[in-house]
Amino acid sequence: MNAIDSFRSAAYNVALKQMFRIPPERIHGLMSRGLECVSSSEAAQAVLRKLFVVDEPSLAQDIAGIHFPRPLGLAAGFDKDAKELNAWGPLGFGYAEVGTLTSINQPGNPTPRLFRLPADRAILNRMGFNNEGITAATQRLRIRTTPEPIGVNLGKWKRTDAAVAHNDYRNSAQTVGDAADYLVINVSSPNTPGLRDLQAVETLRPIVESVQAVNDRPLFVKIAPDLSDADILAVTDLAIELGITGLIATNTTISRDGLATDSTYVAALGAGGVSGAPVAARSLEVLRLIAERAGNKLVLVSVGGIETSEQAWERITAGASLIQGYTPFIYGGPDWVRDIHRGIAGQLKAHGLASISEAVGSKLEWKRN
Ligand SMILES: Cc1cc2nc3c(=O)[nH]c(=O)nc-3n(C[C@H](O)[C@H](O)[C@H](O)COP(=O)(O)O)c2cc1C
């Protein structure tokens, strides 16, 4: 880290302290307004690109016909309505996932529904898919100018019965069409009643098939860290059988185990999913489980508490072609994005590898033998 980088990191930490005095959803709204301005200003984008983009050919990959210039993407939930599309690439991300979007707009859960757990470098949220709906987002996706890929994460409308949830996913997939570079079936948010039950293979199958019937974009399913190992393997087998592109692991956890934050305080916050550092160990475990089962039959995207470039490298060598983050971006800012990419590029060089694709899964048993 040079002097300018150290200064910027220190400045971000000071700004973070001030931001943390403001209620989380309010500051999220303010940040989003700022990012919307960046998204519509080519001059701002050019400045940010100089600061945060690690332009290193070894980091680029072509996956399922999509060119990913860098492996770290913005995870779903930050840019729910695809309003900041042109800002993510300049902030250093190699791609971004917007949503979760539902077929019809909905307000989400009552506030407060977003909480910081700084002692755990974590967030607890029960947003409940607040979004303006897939139609509005699709219009924005169609006029974006960013060269970085944008994935679209789809969910079920709160009041849709689980038995007909596949209609919701199909309608959204049809509406978004080819405006998305890839699609994600999100069946793993803890904040929509009954949603996670859709991960059971018998309910997941019709959802996947409904989406595949109307949209031929690369398709991922995003799963929860709280599934049993047996259920994770069952979803992996189904994903292979149905020929989807891959899995995104993982969403937030409903577990409150091992938190440093006072347990009475956490209990008083109520329901929701925890993200950030506390989910890292299980997220890695789930990745390893899927990677050993799937071999090279699925593209794996790892997300959950990836704070350092060492952790990023661990995920990649454990089988993740791509990685994502949300909570570490809140705590680390765009410097975190740049440092992760610099760290991976450094590891590739140190291992004498010309491309990140040579590193993907290099620690897997089946790949070594
Ligand atoms: C405030 C908040 C909102 C989120 N909303 C969504 C969402 O709408 N859809 C989704 O698939 N994941 C959502 N997530 C989960 C993240 O995409 C990610 O899977 C999870 O936070 C773990 O990654 P992290 O530790 O890097 O945050 C949300 C996370 C947070 C913190």
Closest-lying ligand 1 atom to the alpha carbon of residue 100:
8
Span 168-189, pLDDT tens digits: 999 999 999 999 999 999 988 7
Atom 2 of ligand 1: nearest residue by CA position: 77
Nearest Cα to Cα of residue 317 among 352, 291, 293: 291
pLDDT tens digits, one per residue of 191-240: 777 777 777 778 899 999 999 999 999 999 999 999 999 999 999 999 99
Shortest-distance atom of ligand 1 to CA 75? 17
Beta bridge partners of 302: 249, 323
| Mean pLDDT along residues 277-289 | 98
User: Ligand 1 centroid to 353 CA: how many Å?
Assistant: 32
Ligand 1, residues at Cβ distance < 6 Å: 75-77, 80, 99-100, 114, 123, 125, 127, 129, 153, 186, 189, 222, 251-252, 275-276, 279, 303-305, 325-328
pLDDT of residue 219: 98
For 287, 289, 296, the CA distances from 364, given in Å and listed in that order, are 11, 10, 11
Please tell me the total number of residues recorded for the chain in this structure: 369
Ligand 1 atom at minimal distance to the Cα of residue 76: 17
In the chain, % of residues over pLDDT 70: 98
CATH number assigned to the domain covering 3-368: 3.20.20.70
Q: Which of 192, 326, 327 has most ligand 1 atoms within 8 Å of its beta carbon, as the pocket-test mutant?
A: 326
100 CA → ligand 1 middle, Å: 9
Residue nearest to atom 7 of ligand 1 (CA): 77
Q: Report how far residue 301's alpha carbon sits from residue 229's, in angstroms, rounded to the nearest whole number.
A: 18
Range 313-318 average pLDDT:
98
Query: Any bridge partners for residue 322, and if so which?
Result: 301
Alpha carbon of 2 to ligand 1 centroid (Å): 31
Our mutation pick for probing the ligand 1 site, out of 114, 275, 279, counting the most ligand atoms within 8 A of Cβ, is 275
What is the pLDDT confidence band of residue 366, given thresholds at 50, 70 and 90? low
Residues sharing a CB contact under 8 Å with residue 269, sequence separation 6 or more, in sequence order: 115, 124
For position 367, what pLDDT does the model report? 67
**Alpha-carbon distances of 269 from 123, 127, 142, 189, 209, rounded to whole Å:** 11, 13, 39, 18, 38
Mutate which of 27, 113, 252 to test ligand 1's pocket (most atoms within 8 Å of Cβ)? 252
Catalytic residues: 189
